[in-house]
Structure 1
Amino acid sequence: MAESKRDAAPARAPWPPLLILGALLAGRALDWLTGGALAGLVAFPGAALLGAFLVALALANDVWCATIFARLDTTILPHRAASRLATEGPFRFSRNPIYVSHVAIVLGLGLLLSSPFTVLLTPALAFALQKLAIEPEEQHLRAKFGDAYLAYMARTRRWL
């Protein structure tokens, strides 16, 4: 029996973890290949502390989001169909607070590890997340929740 568009998964692959890992590995590889030529971009007082703060804040946000998904009894997995619409907690400020966290984690790790290419690849990660994860999820959520999701989209930004 064919799966309806309303119940179909938003994507076939769990793109976010693959994209995050790819950005981190590519950033470190480019740092190594260039012999640290751009290290000055992330060599400022407090860079490592700022990076650690971003990572800690992003991880705390991820835990908060996971708690909301668990309470709503819906999936946190990006390649699975949602059963409920999360609009509370950090979802009041962003339709994608977990992806905001992912971008912050990569940026924070770039600063923490003094990896200029990881920092420079962060916008590319955000773009890839939007195209491969967020836009398909939005289509899924529009099909699944209709007017409720459209109203949520109208009052809540995609990123921040």
Structure 2
Amino acid sequence: MDRFVSTFTNKIDAKGRVSIPAPFRAVLERDGYSSGGIYCYPSIDAPALDAGGERLAKKIDGLLAGLPDYSDERDELSVALYGDVQVLGIDGDGRIVVPESLRRHAGLQDQVTFVGLGDKFQMWAPQAFEDRRARAREKAQEHRKLFGAGSAHRSGGDDERARE
């Protein structure tokens, strides 16, 4: 598997060390994460941390490349993403040390919930993630009809062409 998937909750110790789930480490290894460690930064829109390897860095590069050089938008996005990135080393036991500033942003205390999001993963305080998951499921249910409507619309178009 080459994507971060699933959800895991691990303990974080008093020094801020936490084990990255083994499936996530396997994805990072295949991704060719930086020899210095993983990229980690405060999420722009959530009390969570975004993290990943080289694929995440390339996605950020792609976002920035789509904006004009020296534009305010590019500068702001660069500051928001790369300006706050910390490279977290992975020790021989598969652990990282989450710095205090990052723990404070995400409200991490004694546990961390790792959430796979495809090309990246997030780290959340467990209860904050449960609240987030409930909202996401609720919204997905609300929008479920839209997903079905798109396929019905497409098949409706095919039926109309078949009748012509």
Between Structure 1 and Structure 2, which shows a larger proportion of strand residues?
2
User: With CA pairs under 8 Å and 6+ residues apart, which has the higher RCO, 1 or 2?
Assistant: 1
Mark the structure with the bigger radius of gyration.
2
TM-score (ref. length: structure 1): 0.26
TM-score (ref. length: structure 2): 0.25
Between Structure 1 and Structure 2, which shows a larger proportion of helix residues?
1
